[in-house]
Structure 1
Amino acid sequence: MTSVLDELKWRGLVADSTDEAALVEHLQAGPVTFYVGFDPTAPSLHFGNLVQLIVAGHLQRAGHRPLILVGGSTGMIGDPKETGERVLNSPEVVAAWVEKIRAQVQRFVSFDGDNAARVVNNLDWTGSLGTLEFLRDVGKHFPVNRMLARDVVRSRLEGGISYTEFSYVLLQAMDYRELFRQYGCTLQFGGSDQWGNITAGVELLRRSDGKRVHALATPLLTKADGSKFGKTETGTVWLDPELTSPYAFHQYFLNAEDAKVIEYLKVFSPRSQEEIEALERETRESPHRRAAQRALADDVTAFVHSAAERDAAIAAAEALFGRSELADLDESTLSGVLQEIGAVEIVAGGELPMVVDVLEASGVVPSKSAARRAIAEGGAYINNTKVADVDARLTAEDLLHGRFVVARRGKKTVGGTTIKR
């Protein structure tokens, strides 16, 4: 019988562990309480956090108990970055983000059954902690030379690092000890960039309580060129649909590179090894079909948003390029599509704008004269309807949901406008 650790390793979800043989034995001995933490440094989790939520799901389905920590205290400090000091957010902002993320994580683990998940907030045990108590009870167990040896600290020493960020590792280590004491938690995992913080908790429990606990790190996913996966030219891929629309989310995965798409499928898709290996063969033999990319985009969008949002994203892509009706898209889906393709706003006075103005403003042609040529050559479309008259003006019927217009030149050049009246 395949162990959950074997499953995680096959899926490429294990980069490091404190003692793999001991961890296997520990997981097989009975239900293990584990934890993974997220700091509220933004109003939403981002795509990189999804890897940890997927690992939590695998462990929970294997019978283990999840603790999902949202860092109400660590979020006010900030884990050191190599690029410089973080801007500290106010307690009110952090508290609001805690609640947003608390609600968000509940989609990815189960809160029912014998191994029901629990969401915890480290502000509950640090908010009333005194400075002397913290220094005596936690700080005493941390040799400064070990703290200075951390890669991120070493890289920041020359340019300067505040004591606040320098001491972050103590807070995260204390979280592991507190969760061990309160809930019997014996496994922490996180991204490999958190390995120093994670093992600090293991070491604290050994020094202060004489207990042996376990740690696991997942790899940081990258693109074929080595750059960080989960970033776009416009920024972070968020899990909140208000920040990254389901359409944009789906499109992001459709554009996965052939060289990496199978790796991403193993991580993010629930498909079996046999199904993924079949997609790997198809990608190798017929890469133009992009079957693996479609499977990846469909699976991840349904997981993060819903099957209905996945279907709406597919329908939107079809409609955008004239393969189905734009009018059938609901307002939120169409709004997300237009935002993703960079729709511009046109302020209309007494009359609605000319079609040539819309084609130019949307960016599908460089000028009004180019718009007239496109119309004359039969290659200009408004809402997927061919424009025949170079002097045509928009009508109220052209405004989808009373304000949106999709412009297209040829088969592939698409833009959009929002008409403000």
Structure 2
Amino acid sequence: MKLYDELVARGLIAQVTDEKEIKELINNGKATFYIGFDPTADSLHVGHFMALCLMKRLQMAGNKPIALIGGGTAMIGDPSGRTDMRQMMTVETINHNVECFKKQMSRFIEFGEGKAMLVNNADWLTDLNYMEVLRDIGPHFTVNRMLAAECYKQRMEKGLSFLEFNYMIMQSFDFYTLYQKYGCNMEFGGDDQWSNMLGGTELIRRKLGKDAYAMTINLLLNSEGKKMGKTQSGAVWLDPDKTSPFDFFQYWRNVSDADVLKCLRMLTFLPLEQIDEMDKWEGSKLNEAKEILAFELTKLVHGEEEANKAKEGARALFAGGGNTSQMPVTELSGEDFDVDGNIGILTLLVKAGLASSNGEARRNVQQGGVSVDGEKVTEPKSVINKDNITEDGIVLKRGKKKFMKIVVK
């Protein structure tokens, strides 16, 4: 199966400008393509994950990736999919985030001479002359067409700022610049970027008389149509200091039955034939598929050693075996206990991050969803004595999937 057909079979491709030409380019390793990443945080997250995997697939097939970090466009803020304006960041914050992105991307893409490139659009956007942009680029964009773009629709309801209105022009200018400097003939991105990407192909055609191409990939949505990669506590990050390898593993281990096969196809590098076999699995076998998904993705992001540790930790809790040392840990100090050496169960749940407040912790206990070392706790006034926490710690659990190993320093 050729690369393009595999991307279709995996459910990745959403829209293309010219299927015949794009198929020819990527199947034969002739594409020099870019994907943009705006550094709006100090870590990439699951929302970026599919784009990184796509870059890896294309590079493996001989195509040349350009990872564009939006040090310049981040100063404006992408309005796509937003109902409010993004918070303005300082140049120092943006530069810090850029460095974090560079480090994480090298896990997926091979950079170096003749391989992938990493560029920052701040290198050309920050020095643009406003009058020159108006005269040189402005005539090629009509306001009517821009306002009809999907990426602006939600912002129009609350008021689209002139700052954000320029984002499409800046992204189009990126493609135009990369085409001239590096022969970049394709742009890939999420399906919410379609209008911005078309702006770039059109600018290249109008200014240079050349053809360039765009392809969007489907957003990673669950069976309810909601974006994946979000938890109650926020995004699922690729930085192990923000989302631990264990929590990353658990996120994928806990996807719904309806989503596991789709995630295996879209995100892993397992052969399609192997995944198609899993389509026949039912009941408890689906849990095995979820563990395979979690392991493969954790290995991609954090390495095989961390993936194995996470799997062992999960099995220790859920399968009654494995190594409990791999569980996530909350450390208590002497100051956490009262004069009698006790700590209340509600306080402990909050400190372990298993409840956001004493009120929520109380409800969890009263509803029978809390246990310590397998013993259900039903009294909100229950306490744990320091002497009862052994050197190996205790396992505090809330619900079926939230737990923490508690140790004393």
TM-score by length of 2: 0.85
Q: Secondary structure at the match of 1:22?
A: helix
Asked whether the 8 Å contact 1:18–1:214 carries over to 2, the reply is yes
Larger radius of gyration: 1
> Counterparts of 2:387 and 2:87 in 1: how far apart (Å)?
49
In structure 2, the CA distance between the partners of 1:292 and 1:348, relative to structure 1 (3 Å rule), is same
In structure 2, the CA distance between the partners of 1:265 and 1:325, relative to structure 1 (3 Å rule), is closer
Q: 1:312 aligns with which of 301, 309, 320?
A: 309
Asked whether the 8 Å contact 1:258–1:287 carries over to 2, the reply is no
Alignment of 1:51-90 (within 5 A): 51-81=50-80, 82-90=82-90
Q: Is the aligned partner of 1:271 residue 2:263?
A: no
> Counterparts of 1:413 and 1:3 in 2: how far apart (Å)?
40
Asked whether the 8 Å contact 1:31–1:63 carries over to 2, the reply is yes
Q: CA deviation at 1:31?
A: 2.4
Q: Is the aligned partner of 1:257 residue 2:238?
A: no
Q: CA deviation at 1:396?
A: 8.8
Q: 1:295 aligns with which of 254, 279, 292?
A: 292
Q: CA RMSD in A?
A: 3.4
In structure 2, the CA distance between the partners of 1:234 and 1:17, relative to structure 1 (3 Å rule), is same
Asked whether the 8 Å contact 2:67–2:118 carries over to 1, the reply is yes
Alignment of 1:14-413 (within 5 A): 14-28=13-27, 31-81=30-80, 82-111=82-111, 114=114, 116-283=115-282, 286-287=283-284, 289-320=286-317, 323-324=320-321, 328-329=325-326, 334-335=328-329, 338=330, 347-349=336-338, 352-353=341-342, 357-358=344-345, 361-362=348-349, 381-382=372-373, 393-395=385-387, 398-400=390-392, 405-407=394-396
Q: Secondary structure at the match of 2:280?
A: helix
In structure 2, the CA distance between the partners of 1:120 and 1:153, relative to structure 1 (3 Å rule), is same
Asked whether the 8 Å contact 1:256–1:293 carries over to 2, the reply is yes
> Counterparts of 1:42 and 1:214 in 2: how far apart (Å)?
29
Asked whether the 8 Å contact 2:151–2:195 carries over to 1, the reply is no
In structure 2, the CA distance between the partners of 1:419 and 1:272, relative to structure 1 (3 Å rule), is closer
Aligned partner letter, 1:86: R
TM-score by length of 1: 0.83
Q: Structure 1: any 5+ residue segments left out of the alignment? A: 371-378
Q: CA deviation at 1:398?
A: 1.9
Asked whether the 8 Å contact 1:348–1:420 carries over to 2, the reply is no
Q: CA deviation at 1:314?
A: 1.4
> Counterparts of 1:25 and 1:217 in 2: how far apart (Å)?
17
Aligned partner letter, 2:54: V
Asked whether the 8 Å contact 1:320–1:326 carries over to 2, the reply is no
> Counterparts of 1:67 and 1:380 in 2: how far apart (Å)?
50
Aligned partner letter, 2:26: L
Identical-residue share of aligned pairs (%): 36
> Counterparts of 1:55 and 1:190 in 2: how far apart (Å)?
10
Q: CA deviation at 1:35?
A: 0.5
In structure 2, the CA distance between the partners of 1:394 and 1:199, relative to structure 1 (3 Å rule), is same
In structure 2, the CA distance between the partners of 1:352 and 1:406, relative to structure 1 (3 Å rule), is farther
What is the number of residues matched between the two proteins? 393
Q: CA deviation at 1:110?
A: 1.3
> Counterparts of 2:135 and 2:64 in 1: how far apart (Å)?
31
In structure 2, the CA distance between the partners of 1:153 and 1:361, relative to structure 1 (3 Å rule), is closer
Task: Provide, for residues 239-270 of structure 1, a one-character-per-residue CA deviation record: whole Å limited to 9, x for no partner.
Answer: 11111111111111111222221111001111
> Counterparts of 2:164 and 2:66 in 1: how far apart (Å)?
25
Aligned partner letter, 1:85: M
In structure 2, the CA distance between the partners of 1:190 and 1:352, relative to structure 1 (3 Å rule), is same
Task: Provide, for residues 291-322 of structure 1, a one-character-per-residue CA deviation record: whole Å limited to 9, x for no partner.
Answer: 21111111111111111111111122233358
Q: CA deviation at 1:277?
A: 1.1
Q: Structure 2: any 5+ residue segments left out of the alignment? A: 355-360
Asked whether the 8 Å contact 1:344–1:418 carries over to 2, the reply is no
Asked whether the 8 Å contact 2:245–2:302 carries over to 1, the reply is yes
Aligned partner letter, 2:328: L
Asked whether the 8 Å contact 1:73–1:123 carries over to 2, the reply is yes
Q: CA deviation at 1:28?
A: 4.6
Aligned partner letter, 1:175: D
Task: Provide, for residues 28-47 of structure 1, a one-character-per-residue CA deviation record: whole Å limited to 9, x for no partner.
Answer: 55522110010011111110
Q: CA deviation at 1:154?
A: 3.5
In structure 2, the CA distance between the partners of 1:218 and 1:413, relative to structure 1 (3 Å rule), is closer
Look up the match of 2:357: none
Asked whether the 8 Å contact 2:389–2:407 carries over to 1, the reply is no
Q: CA deviation at 1:326?
A: 6.0
In structure 2, the CA distance between the partners of 1:386 and 1:106, relative to structure 1 (3 Å rule), is same
